[in-house]
Amino acid sequence: MTDPHDHAHDHSHVDHGAEALGYYETMQIALTELLIEKGVFGAEDVRREVEAMHARTPARGAAVVAHAWRDPAFKARLLADGSAACESLGIAMGPTRLVVVENTPGVHNVIVCTLCSCYPRVLLGLPPDWYKSRPYRSRVVREPRTVLAEFGLELPNDTIVRVHDSTADMRYMVLPERPKGTERLSEAALAELVTRDCMIGVAVPSRSSPR
């Protein structure tokens, strides 16, 4: 037997390129192939799920934030039960239990997952690489102000910095403060000011935030 592809189904290694596979890549491919062979799901289901995962973007979270800025009753519901409030906007939250933490003039919030890379993907899409990196995860819990300064966000000492470590079943999103001078902006224009990093808490929106 010289053909390594002696198993019955057709598949391409289109995602894997020509480089040697690492341990976890090999395990992931083996597991996927076995689940497809056993009929748990089909290759098309995997493809569709990956496509859907890449289609989720921070624009969803930004729309939630902009709505909360304009509608105080919605904001109150969002802070009380993040998942239910997002569902009420037509966002299918699935099993995600969302906790929204609000930045105020005296309080700044920042999100991390020290154990792995838990992230509110349903609202923010895929996490940036730095969010999953060991330096961010290990440092932001013990020297958040230094890490935030490295992101260009210097906070005065009279601001309370609250770090939120997503260690279990909740997912977190920061509700940033609405920038001054935006009273006349439409909800869509407000959403343009809200970037991914603002909802993780390593940045704050400004009147002229680039998207």
Partner 1 sequence: MSARFAPGEPVRVRRAFPPGHVRTPYYARGKAGVVERLCGAFRNPEELAFGRNGEPKQPLYRVRFVQRELWPDYAGPAHDTLDIELYEHWLESP
Q: Which residues are catalytic, by number?
A: 113, 116-118
Nearest CB to partner 1, comparing residues 109 and 195: 109
Minimum distance from CB of 51 to partner 1 (Å)? 28
Q: Which residue has the tokens 């390594």?
A: 4
Report the alpha-carbon distance of residue 203 to residue 151 in Å, rounded: 7
Q: Is residue 154 within 8 Å of 139, Cβ to Cβ?
A: no
Nearest CB to partner 1, comparing residues 147 and 190: 147
* Structure letter (DSSP) for residue 130: H
- At 137, phi and psi to the nearest 5? -65, -40
Element (H, E) at 31: helix 23-37
User: Where along the sequence are the contacts to partner 1 (CB under 8 A)?
Assistant: 97, 99, 114-115, 141-146, 157-158, 160-170
Minimum distance from CB of 11 to partner 1 (Å)? 28
- At 99, phi and psi to the nearest 5? -110, 125
Single-letter residue type at 140: V
Neighbours of 99 (CB within 10 A): 16
Nearest CB to partner 1, comparing residues 43 and 170: 170
Closest residue by Cα to residue 175 from 199, 196, 206: 199
Minimum distance from CB of 185 to partner 1 (Å)? 32
Nearest CB to partner 1, comparing residues 92 and 168: 168
Single-letter residue type at 99: V
